[in-house]
Amino acid sequence: MRKLILAGLAAASLVGVAGAATAQPVVVERWGHWDPTWGAQPGPPPAAVARHWRHRENLYYAHVHTCMARERYDWHRDRYWDHGHWVVCSD
């Protein structure tokens, strides 16, 4: 029984090594991860907004997703409409 378990573990480890060799490369997304279930992926932020996100660019899409919960969010300006005027979205 012990030999059978060891043989099974050896086979599993060989399959794991073979699978690691064919693994897909990790894609680094500059503005963070956008989940397709959130809707259409917005483009990168405009220059004025991008300056604000310098050194933490990978958090931008998470910020946009959070702000999309607000009514009438406009990712081009990073603002949402609230009672007759545009308000900067901060999360």
- pLDDT (average), residues 16-35: 68
pLDDT score of 84: 92
Percent of the chain with pLDDT over 70: 68
Which token pair is 65?
Answer: 């997703």
Q: Which residue has the higher pLDDT, 81 or 9?
A: 81
- What integer is the mean pLDDT of 38-54? 85
The Cα 90–Cα 66 span in angstroms is 9
54-59 contacts at long range (C-beta below 8 A, 24 or more positions apart): 57/30, 57/31, 57/32, 58/29, 58/30, 58/31, 58/32, 59/32
Region 22-34 average pLDDT: 73
pLDDT the model gives residue 24: 61
pLDDT at 77 over 80: yes
pLDDT given for residue 86 in this prediction: 92
Please provide the DSSP assignment of 6-34 as one string. Answer: HHHHHHHHHHHHHHHHTPPPPPPPTT---
Residue 38 sits at the vertex; the CA angle it makes with 61 and 34, to the nearest 5 degrees, is 35
